[in-house]
């Protein structure tokens, strides 16, 4: 599996009793790791005994730090050099379960930078080692809005399936290229389809399943071959625009909700590459995402638990 995550990050995860704006706080615990959605997908891949290759921009100012952090991760990294500092994501986890994330923009990609990134993707796909290309995460400043759309075309020319997990302009511009799967959450999907700026959804709202199913149809009408629209603890809608299914969520004990969507993508790719048909692959993705939030590490998954939860998913 090849993962395109151009806007790689350094994650700083801070646990504290309560985040109180305007106060000086002294948390006792912080963990610094390589981050970005693709890192989490690769961790899921590794949990199932396989190794992914990730292509990302490598900012020169922080190249040494990134090399050190990425050496700890179960992946092969291909860095495309770029000037500037690495993107930093600061994650605050409170005892109540509330999560606050500060995502910085990342280094500015120069005019010829994206072409270099595309060449790196093409070179990896030319090796014939990858059956799936996962395009995931935000695009850095300076990258074209249709960056993932271009990668979809490159993937299809190489004969691989392409999964796009993105939001806002990056998702909107990828749809006309016909990705095999898109996997936004409901807020991201409605942001693209209806221009809603809010990135949160009340999962207990009774209209969530209908809204998610409607989003699946519209995403497919715009070009996606299939779409999965996740709604957290409510469930997931999946379909190809003609048939749309609702998959229930399975209650679990949440330790860290960060990266659940990435684990969903990792579980989906694992199931597809293992020969599952799409609906069963989505059920396994739900099980993988649910298993991941039981772990402290984003993207951490117990494979046995993923299979156990997936077997409990009800499809309607």
Tell whether pTM > 0.85. Answer: yes
**Alpha-carbon separation of residue 219 from 134, 183, 208, 267 (angstroms):** 18, 10, 16, 21
Residue 205 is encoded by which pair of tokens?
A: 């709202």
Tell me: pLDDT of 199 over 80: no
Total number of domains in the chain = 1
For residue 132, the number of C-alpha atoms closer than 13 Å in the C-beta half-sphere is: 25
**Alpha-carbon separation of residue 288 from 110, 134, 291 (angstroms):** 37, 16, 5
Residue 95 in any domain: the answer is yes
* pLDDT tens, residue by residue, 172-185: 999 999 999 999 99
Q: How many CB atoms lie within 10 A of CB 31?
A: 12
Residue 85 in any domain: the answer is yes
Residue 176 in any domain: the answer is yes
Task: With CA atoms as reference, report the closest residue to 19 among 104, 95, 103, 88.
Answer: 95
* pLDDT tens, residue by residue, 205-257: 889 999 999 999 999 999 999 999 999 889 999 999 889 999 999 999 888 78
Query: Mean of the per-residue pLDDT values for the chain?
Result: 93
Q: Which percentage of the chain shows pLDDT scores above 90?
A: 82
pLDDT band at 70 (very low <50, low <70, confident <90, very high): very high
pLDDT at 310: 96
pLDDT band at 99 (very low <50, low <70, confident <90, very high): confident
Tokens 């930093």 label which residue? 88
User: Once rounded to an integer, what is the mean pLDDT over residues 268-288?
Assistant: 97
Task: With CA atoms as reference, report the closest residue to 266 among 103, 209, 274.
Answer: 274
Burial 200-228 (b: 16+ CB within 10 A, else e): ebeeeeeebbebbbbbbbbbbebebebbb
Residue 25 in any domain: the answer is no
C-alpha 15/C-alpha 292 separation (Å) is 18
Residue 273, judged by CB atoms within 10 A of its CB (0-12, 13-18, 19+), counts as middle
CA-derived radius of gyration, the chain = 18
- Residue 184, domain extent: 2-17+30-310
The CATH number given to whatever domain includes residue 172 is 3.40.1190.20
pLDDT at 206: 86
pLDDT at 97: 82
Q: Which percentage of the chain shows pLDDT scores above 70?
A: 97
pLDDT at 195: 85
* pLDDT tens, residue by residue, 20-66: 999 999 887 888 999 889 999 999 999 999 999 999 999 999 999 99
C-alpha 282/C-alpha 183 separation (Å) is 10
pLDDT at 127: 96
User: Once rounded to an integer, what is the mean pLDDT over residues 194-211?
Assistant: 78
Tell me: pLDDT of 84 over 90: yes
pLDDT band at 268 (very low <50, low <70, confident <90, very high): very high
pLDDT band at 299 (very low <50, low <70, confident <90, very high): confident
Residue 23 in any domain: the answer is no
User: Once rounded to an integer, what is the mean pLDDT over residues 110-136?
Assistant: 97
Residue 22 in any domain: the answer is no
C-alpha 17/C-alpha 23 separation (Å) is 13
User: Once rounded to an integer, what is the mean pLDDT over residues 305-310?
Assistant: 96
Residue 149 in any domain: the answer is yes
Residue 24 in any domain: the answer is no
Under DSSP, is residue 258 helix (H, G, I), strand (E, B) or coil?
Answer: coil
pLDDT band at 189 (very low <50, low <70, confident <90, very high): very high
């Amino acid at each position: 599996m090849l993962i395109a995550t151009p806007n790689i990050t350094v994650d700083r995860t801070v646990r504290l009793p309560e985040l109180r704006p305007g106060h000086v706080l002294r948390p006792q615990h912080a963990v610094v790791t390589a981050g970005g959605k693709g890192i989490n997908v690769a961790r899921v891949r590794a949990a199932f005994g396989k190794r992914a290759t990730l292509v990302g921009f490598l900012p020169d100012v922080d190249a040494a730090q990134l090399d050190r952090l990425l050496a700890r991760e179960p992946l092969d990294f291909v860095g495309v050099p770029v000037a500037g500092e690495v993107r930093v994501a600061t994650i605050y986890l409170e005892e109540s379960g509330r999560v606050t994330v500060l995502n910085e923009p990342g280094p500015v990609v120069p005019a010829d930078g994206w072409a270099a990134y595309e060449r790196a993707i093409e070179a990896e796909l030319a090796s014939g080692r990858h059956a799936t290309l996962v395009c995931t995460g935000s695009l850095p400043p300076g990258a074209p809005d249709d960056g993932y759309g271009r990668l979809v075309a490159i993937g299809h020319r190489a004969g691989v399936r392409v999964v796009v997990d993105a939001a806002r302009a990056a998702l909107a511009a990828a749809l006309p290229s016909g990705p095999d799967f898109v996997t936004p959450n409901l807020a991201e999907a409605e942001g693209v389809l209806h221009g809603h700026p809010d990135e949160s959804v009340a999962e207990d709202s009774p209209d969530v399943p209908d809204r998610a199913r409607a989003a699946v149809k519209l995403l497919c009408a715009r070009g996606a071959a299939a779409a999965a629209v996740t709604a957290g603890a409510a469930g997931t809608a999946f379909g190809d625009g003609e048939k749309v299914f609702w998959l229930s969520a399975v209650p679990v004990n949440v330790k860290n909700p960060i990266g659940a969507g990435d684990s969903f993508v990792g579980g989906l790719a694992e199931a597809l590459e293992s020969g599952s048909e799409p609906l069963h692959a989505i059920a396994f993705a739900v099980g993988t995402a649910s298993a991941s939030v039981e772990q402290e590490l984003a993207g951490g998954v117990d494979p046995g638990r993923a299979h156990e939860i997936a077997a409990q998913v009800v499809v309607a």
